[in-house]
């Protein structure tokens, strides 16, 4: 099972991931506001947040978060604490949009591929389901 691991200590807030995501999904246009990954800023820190599943089931886990030395794995702290769930809506027609890992097989998620600071990493973890 693949997951995107986010190290917000490394994130510089360049929003390359948003651009990469939008280019991959819109194919002929760029629009960070239509990305399935958005970078939140809190004080001096940036938190990339991925639009995970909308259900509250146990599978609601797509983010590994490193705070200090500790890794909060399988944790949806970001999205749970995010007061703006509605950020992941198409700004024009308001349809909810969701991360699909860009079709994980061939090129892998484009946000991970473009991330220049190494804050996003694709990791493989054992599947529990």
Piece in contact with other proteins (CB under 8 A), picked from 35-43, 52-60, 63-71, 97-105: 35-43
Counting contacts by CB under 8 A, is residue 16 touching other proteins? yes
Nearer to other proteins, 61 or 115 (CB): 115
The dihedral built from the CA positions of residue 29, 6, 44 and 77, taken in this order, carries a sign that is positive
Q: In the set 31, 73, 75, 121, which binds other proteins (CB under 8 A)?
A: 31
* Contact map string, positions 67 to 86, toward other proteins, x by CB under 8 A: ----------------xx-x
Q: What single DSSP character describes residue 23? A: H
CB of 43 to other proteins, least distance (A): 5
Q: How far apart are CA 60 and CA 123, in angstroms?
A: 17
Tokens, residue 47: 């938190």
Which range binds other proteins by CB under 8 A, 8-16, 48-56, 63-71, 120-128?
8-16
Closest CA to 107 of 88, 122, 90, 95: 122
Residue from 54, 116, 123, 125 binding other proteins (CB under 8 A):
116
117 vs 10, 21, 33, CA distance in Å?
A: 6, 16, 21
Cα angle vertex 78, ends 98, 12, to 5°? 90
Q: Which residues make up the interface to other proteins (CB under 8 A)?
A: 12-16, 19-20, 23, 26-34, 40-41, 43-45, 83-84, 86-87, 91-92, 113-114, 116-117
């Amino acid at each position: 099972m693949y997951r995107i691991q986010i190290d917000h200590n490394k994130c510089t807030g360049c929003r390359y991931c948003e651009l990469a995501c939008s280019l991959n999904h819109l194919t002929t246009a760029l629009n960070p506001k239509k990305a399935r990954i958005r970078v939140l800023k809190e004080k001096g820190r940036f938190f990339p947040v991925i639009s995970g599943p909308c259900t509250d089931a146990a599978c609601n886990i797509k983010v590994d978060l490193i705070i200090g030395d500790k890794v909060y794995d399988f944790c949806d702290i970001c999205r749970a604490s995010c007061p703006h769930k509605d950020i992941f809506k198409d700004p024009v027609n308001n349809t909810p949009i969701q991360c699909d890992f860009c079709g994980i097989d061939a090129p892998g998620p484009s946000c991970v591929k473009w991330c220049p600071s190494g804050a996003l990493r694709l990791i493989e973890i054992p599947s529990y389901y």
